[in-house]
Homo-oligomer: A and B are copies of this chain.
Amino acid sequence: MDRPVIPLGKPRPERADAARNRLHLLDTARDMIAECGVDKVTMDGLAERAGLGKGTVFRRFGTRAGIFAALIDEDEHSFQTLVLTGPPPLGPGADPVERLVAYGRGRITFLLERLAVARASLDRAQPIPAGAATISRLHIGALLRQAQPGMPDLDSLAIQLTAALEGPILLYLSSPAPAEITRHIERLADSWQALIERICA
């Protein structure tokens, strides 16, 4: 199926002042979330708190959801670095099925620890805008290809497994209390492992 074209990396370097504004807005948004929660962060409120014009916030993020997508995106870069260059089995060097299992556990932890922000980053009318979905899909596809070189429909299967991994958290799971997050991570990770082992059996 056709997939959304998601730009990897920026089309051209940001101007220094634009980059400074962006970092300042993201830091301010993180402060506001820590103090009052995701629900209280609005475009107007962020502009006021950051001491910047509403137009700057609008141009930078487009929509309120875009603020949260940018926050998640920033964290994604750290996670992606672990996947690409960190120790195995999340990083390179382990068996592909082990890496798929470790990747699932990593994503589940990543999303559950950022559940309110991750949900708020979903624009109701748009597909997931950040690099997150693309990273998962490409990484899962690459590891499946190593694990099962002859498997047909690999690209479609990678999309479905991305949804099987992230969808329960982004779509169906009630927000767990902080004390319950560890238990949810365990259960979802076990279930992901069982699914991968069935498919790669």
Residues of A within 8 A of B (CB): 1-4, 38-39, 65, 116, 119-128, 133, 137, 152-153, 156-157, 159-168, 170-176, 180, 184, 187-188, 190-192, 194-195, 198-199
Q: Looking across the interface, which residue of chain B has its beta carbon closest to that of A123?
A: B124
Nearest B residue to A175, CB-CB: B127
User: Which residues does chain B contribute within 8 Å of A153, judged by CB atoms?
Assistant: 190-191, 194
Contact between B168 and A160, CB atoms less than 8 A apart: yes
Nearest Cβ in chain B — how far from A166, in angstroms? 7
A191 CB to closest chain B CB (Å) equals: 3
CA distance A133 to B175 in the complex (A): 16
A32 to nearest B CB, angstroms? 15
Instruction: List, in ascending order, chain B residues with CB within 8 A of A195's CB.
Output: 157, 160, 199
Cβ-defined contact, B171 with A170, below 8 A? yes
Given A4-B173, A65-B124: A194 and B163 interface contact (C-beta under 8 Å): no
User: How many copies of this chain does one complex carry?
Assistant: 2
Contact A191 B120 (CB under 8 A): no
Task: Determine if A161 and B164 form an interchain contact, defined as CB atoms under 8 angstroms apart.
Answer: yes
Check A156–B191 contact: CB distance below 8 A.
yes
Given A191-B157, A191-B159, A194-B152, CB of A172 within 8 Å of CB of B128: yes
Contact residues in B for A161 (Cβ distance below 8 Å): 164
**Inside 8 A of A167's CB, which chain B residues have their CB?**
160, 162-164, 166-167, 170-171
Question: Contact check: which of B1, B65, B124, B172 meets A4 at CB < 8 Å?
Answer: B172
